């Protein structure tokens, strides 16, 4: 994919999430069951980054942990909602939120114990930018730190039928890469760029950018990766 095409997709995706922020937040009011076991990755005293935090719902997983949570998202509208939703946590100095891109964050080298990337990587267009995002996660994680990453599991027969993407998987939209598809946002005409990862493809891109994979599994909705920063 050409860099100009990737930039256009990123700009359109950000504009879309800003425009649907309130409705999107309402649709993400409850935590997915797939996310709940991830609490086991976090221990007291950890500094956590939720990269692509949306409304900050992941923070609810850590109510019984003595941690500090930072949420970052490229959508200013979603960050505004996250700040309002988690005002008490911010006041108590347990959380903070900032607008940031997954490929260029404002954080220091080797800053975090755990980085969560929940349903983010598949929205980043082009293999090169997805690698940049993983290199950035590696940069800000402490050696031995943990990356918990999920992408949508879109190559199951159920997902292909639900989103009607069979033809796109065979012939991606003009100028896009193999595996790139458009998925509508609920009942609206708005459509989102998504890369439909194969498991081996995801394993390769994580492993080649500074991570040792500890666990990789598929659920009905997601592919989940847990890896150490090496």
Query: What tens digit of pLDDT does each residue of 94-119 get?
Result: 999 999 999 999 999 999 999 999 99
Query: What tens digit of pLDDT does each residue of 73-92 get?
Result: 999 999 999 999 999 999 99
CB-based contacts of 189, cutoff 8 Å, min separation 6: none
The model carries a pTM of: 0.94
Average pLDDT, the chain: 94
Provide the 3-class DSSP secondary structure of residue 208: coil
Residue 35 φ then ψ, to 5°: -85, -25
What the block records as the tokens of 171 is 């012939």
Residue 95 or residue 174, greater confidence: 95
What the block records as the tokens of 63 is 């109510």
Calculate ∠ Cα 164-170-172, nearest 5°.
85
Dist CA 121 CA 10 (whole Å): 12
Residue 40 or residue 144, greater confidence: 144
pLDDT at 188 over 80: no
The reported pLDDT for the residue numbered 206 is: 98
Contact criterion met (CB below 8 Å) for 226 and 41: yes
What the block records as the tokens of 230 is 């090496």
Q: What is the CATH number of domain 3-28+55-154+216-229?
A: 3.40.50.150
């Amino acid at each position: 994919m050409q860099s100009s095409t990737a930039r256009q997709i990123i700009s359109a995706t950000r504009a879309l999430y800003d425009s649907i922020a309130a409705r999107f937040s309402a649709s993400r009011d409850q935590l997915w069951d797939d996310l709940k076991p991830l609490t086991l990755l976090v221990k007291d005293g950890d500094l956590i980054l939720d990269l692509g935090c949306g409304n900050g719902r992941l923070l609810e997983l850590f109510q019984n942990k003595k941690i500090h949570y930072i949420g970052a998202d490229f959508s200013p509208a979603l960050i505004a909602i996250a700040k309002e939703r988690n005002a008490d946590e911010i006041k108590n100095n347990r959380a903070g939120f900032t607008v940031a891109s997954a490929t260029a964050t404002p954080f220091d080298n080797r800053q975090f114990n755990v980085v969560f990337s929940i349903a983010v990587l598949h929205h980043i267009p082009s293999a090169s930018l997805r690698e940049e995002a993983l290199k950035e996660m590696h940069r800000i994680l402490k050696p031995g730190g943990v990356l918990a990453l999920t992408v949508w599991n879109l190559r199951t027969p159920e997902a292909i039928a639900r989103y009607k993407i069979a033809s796109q998987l065979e012939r991606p939209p003009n100028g896009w890469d193999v595996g790139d598809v458009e998925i509508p946002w609920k009942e609206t005409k708005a459509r989102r760029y998504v890369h439909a990862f194969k498991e081996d493809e995801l394993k390769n891109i994580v492993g080649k950018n500074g991570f040792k994979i500890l666990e990789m599994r598929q659920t009905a909705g997601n592919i989940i990766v847990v890896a150490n920063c090496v």
